Amino acid sequence: MTTPVNRLRPRRSCLAVPGSNPRFLEKAQGLPADQVFLDLEDAVAPLAKEGARQHIVDALNNGDWTGKTRVVRVNDWTTHWTYRDVIAVVEGAGPNLDCIMLPKVQDAQQVVALDLLLTQIEKTMGFEVGKIGIEAQIENAKGLVNIDDIAAASPRLETLIFGPADFMASINMKTLVVGQQPPGYGADAYHYILMRILMAARTHDLQAIDGPFLQIRDVDAYREVAGRAAALGFDGKWVLHPGQVDAANEVFSPAQEDYDHAELILDAYDWCTSEEGGKKGSAMLGDEMIDEASRKMALVIAGKGRAAGMQRTSKFEAPEA
């Protein structure tokens, strides 16, 4: 029987690292990103892709990735590199790999194909079957239209990721600045896309991750764009530069006050529904009435805070009888 795998890993900051650059691969190990994905796709020139596979295997096997989710982005299924990317990386470093990221996913069968290939490699190599997860990147209109089927395609699936640059090109969006609002449109041009991804993710208990912001030196603008996704409920965002890492970790973590309040709600609800607390379905926490719905909302905030390693600064005290 396969051991259950924790698919809900911290992913506030997802750092992209070119697999063809050993210096960047080494530097990434010391950055405080929740996730690092070693790239074989867009960040690597065609002539450098085969060599990059070995650089990535060496980095995964010999590097110190403590505390980080380790991911490799392979090339998409429309290229001739994909199957060799997966075989080389998983056979070479499978025990030190958490997920494979599949870009430009357009239908569920592309996820199924990757799942099957991973299973064959794991069985051949004697690795634990099903341990390596899949991250699916949605980068065009067809992928978004098929997103419900994609989200349900494999038990390995962990995240759905918005790929804004290719997506903007696929729908002929009138802008060259990735992630910023196109001129001439008064509302949020990305709201429907982000919400569609989020709904599919939550329906299937997956995480939702926002893609990159290419103006890497404008950290204030990065915070603004990241804040939009965080407000909707996304779990994290890509970072392309070390200067974006702290901003992502901050934006996708609860404020200390909110985290403390969420933990207090959970403690208060546990107490009021207990024998000692009178088995009540609702109670007062200060001037606030809390109930089961409050508990569910608090679980979300508390979960994010715990995943971020936050510590409580307040303690629940049961009211005196």
Which residue ranges make up each domain of the chain?
A: 13-252, 256-308
pTM of the model: 0.88
Which one has a higher pLDDT value, 47 or 4? Answer: 47
**pLDDT > 90? residue 228:** yes
User: Percent of the chain scored above 90 by pLDDT?
Assistant: 67
Q: Bigger pLDDT: 19 or 269?
A: 19
With a cut of 70, say whether residue 296 has pLDDT above it: yes
Q: 285 falls in which pLDDT band (50, 70, 90)?
A: confident
> Average pLDDT of the chain?
92
Annotated binding site for Mg(2+): 139, 166
Average pLDDT over residues 292-297: 86
CA distances for 208 relative to 9, 61, 72, 193, 194, angstroms: 12, 28, 18, 12, 9
Q: Is a pLDDT exceeding 60 seen at residue 129? A: yes
**pLDDT exceeds cutoff 80 at 260:** yes
Q: CA 303, 37, 114, 126: dihedral to nearest 10 degrees?
A: -90
Lowest pLDDT segment from 39-48, 248-257, 312-321: 312-321
Most confident of 161-165, 172-176, 184-188, 292-296: 161-165
Of the listed ranges 137-151, 159-173, 262-276, the one predicted with least confidence: 262-276
Please determine, for residue 111, whether its predicted confidence score (pLDDT) is greater than 80: yes
Answer yes or no: is pLDDT of 3 > 50: no
Return the CATH superfamily for domain 13-252. Phosphoenolpyruvate-binding domains (3.20.20.60)
Confidence tier at 155 by pLDDT (50, 70, 90): very high
pLDDT, position 48: 97
Per-residue pLDDT for 31 more than 90? yes
Q: Which two tokens stand for residue 106?
A: 């357009």
Model confidence band, residue 143 (pLDDT cutoffs 50, 70, 90):
very high
Using alpha carbons, select from 278, 166, 151, 256 the residue that is nearest to residue 203: 151
pLDDT, tens digit, for every residue of 36-64?
999 999 999 999 999 999 999 999 999 99
pLDDT tier at 2, thresholds 50, 70, 90? very low
Residue 124's φ and ψ, nearest 5 degrees, are -65, -40
Residues marked as binding for substrate?
Answer: 73, 139
What is the rounded average pLDDT of the residues 136-143? 97
pLDDT (0 to 100) of residue 264:
87
Q: pLDDT at residue 288 above 80?
A: yes
Q: How confident is the model at residue 306 (pLDDT cuts 50, 70, 90)?
A: confident
pLDDT of residue 32: 96
120 burial level (CB within 10 Å; 0-12, 13-18, 19+): middle
Mean pLDDT, rounded, for 128-154: 97
pLDDT at 87 over 90: yes
Summarize the annotated binding site as residue ranges.
73, 139, 166
Query: What radius of gyration do the chain's Cα atoms show?
Result: 21
Helices 219-232, 191-203: inter-axial angle, 10-degree rounding = 50
**Predicted confidence band of residue 112 (pLDDT cuts 50, 70, 90):** very high
